[in-house]
Structure formats: structure tokens, C-alpha cells
Amino acid sequence: MPRLAGKAALVTGGTSGLGAETVRRFAAEGAAVAFAGRDAGRGAAVERETGAGFLAADVRSDADTARTVAAAVERLGGLDVLVCNAGTGLVLPLAETAPDELNRILDVNVTGCLRYARACFPHLEERRGSMIHIASDAGIRAVHEIAAYSVTKAGVIAVSELFGAEGAPYGIRSNAVCPGDIVPGVQATPAGHEEHAEDPVGWVLPPSGRFGTGEDVAGLVTWLVSDESAHMTGATLRIDGGTGAAMRVLTRR
């Protein structure tokens, strides 16, 4: 049987990137899926492709969060899985980051996770469900060119670990996934990464010899929400091809 057969899942930021790959993988693994996002056009495309239900919502809105969770629970008949994937970033060092910009990113990346986790908590308790929070390797070891993003992803890890501790007595699991550099599609070699050559952060090939893909991350997320990982909670898992296994030094411009 598909490993997620009978499970109901809600994915935030599910209209593109890692979120869309997670929606695809969950649907292929037998889950009933609803996903939220702001882009109606992309949402409709993923909905047509996967059969999952699109819910238009802004992760920064308390009202949208409540409406989305209620609609997902009604549509799916309950909730077993929440994947908090919606996120945003900023390419600036911390000394050049305005407080308003930091607050904007915090609201999406950290408070957005908190909004959805709180709203889903009682529903996950009913089904002894699971939360996944998509963080980043930059939340474990900060990257100064994307300083605000690093700060907020460290916050996502803390939120995830705390929900792991608080949820355990209620049968709720919570784990954080920290991807390294991800390229779109299945071509994950340096040649397939040429479209990112202008990236001001700079991309360094992992020790594994290739960059990661959305499929890699979606596979890990699928395992974490399956019954195979029933004793896994409060964990923070890098998926970076070994990049974080040893210190690396990049020259500052």
C-alpha cells in the first residue's frame, strides 16, 4: 500500500518549489491533500496535476489561517499532517537589513509557522498527527549574505523543536527539515545549476557531488510523516549532501 494511504495533509506554500513537490509526493503516496498559497494561477495548475485541493491564503493573515485550516479539515474529514513550507527571504547582510524588512520575513517564516501549528494542534491531537517545519541549513549555520533569512530559519527550528516537546504528551510529532542548496527539477549537477550563476550568495557543490532537488526533500518529508518514523519527534534534520558536515569558509566580498 502507498505509505500515506488514509492520511489527510495540509501543506502551506504548496503552489511552487518544495511545497508543490511535497503535494505531488503526498498525493502519489495515497494521502488526501489540501494546500495553501497566494498564487491562484499556480495553485490551479498544481490542483489539476495532483488532484489536491487548493486554498488561497496569505500565511501572514490570522483570518486566512483559520479559514484555511477549517476548510482543509472539512474537505479532508480531519487532519493527520501539517507541513509548514511557506517562506520568503532577503539577500542582505544584517547591518543593512531594516527592522521593517526583518519583521516582514519573521511574519512569514516564523509567525506563519506558529499560526498554522496552533490552528492545527487540536485537529492533529485527534488523529495523533505530525507537523513538519521546513527550515534551512542556513538556520543551523548562518549565511551572512542572507542574514535575515538565517535568523528566521533558526527561529523555525526552535518553533519545531518546542512543538515537538509540547506535542509529545498529546501524541503530536513535530520535526524540522533543513535543506541545503536546491535546484529545480531532476537535473542536479553543476551544469543544471547554471541558471543560478548570478546568485549573489554563491553556490558551492556539496561533498555528495550534486545539488539537492525538491524530490529529495519531499522524500524525507514523506518518511517523517509516515508511520515508519513513529518515534521521531523534536528532531532537526539536514538534507544537504554533506555540506554541513564540516566547516567551509567563503570569501566575503
Mind telling me the catalytic residues?
149
Please provide residue 205's backbone torsions phi and psi, each rounded to the nearest 5 degrees. -60, 130
Q: State the DSSP code for 111.
A: I
> What CA–CA distance (Å, rounded) separates 171 from 117?
14
DSSP assignment letter at 52: P
HSE (side-chain half, CA atoms, 13 Å) at 175: 22
What are the helix (H) ranges across the chain? 17-28, 40-50, 62-76, 99-106, 112-127, 147-167, 214-225
CA dihedral angle for residue 135, residue 137, residue 143, residue 147, rounded to 10 degrees: 10
Is there a contact between 123 and 69 (Cβ–Cβ < 8 Å)?
Answer: yes
The strand pairing partners of 135, in sequence order, are none
> Which residues sit opposite 178 in a β-bridge?
238
Residue type at position 90: L
Checking DSSP bridges between strand 81-84 and strand 173-179, what pairing results, if any? unpaired
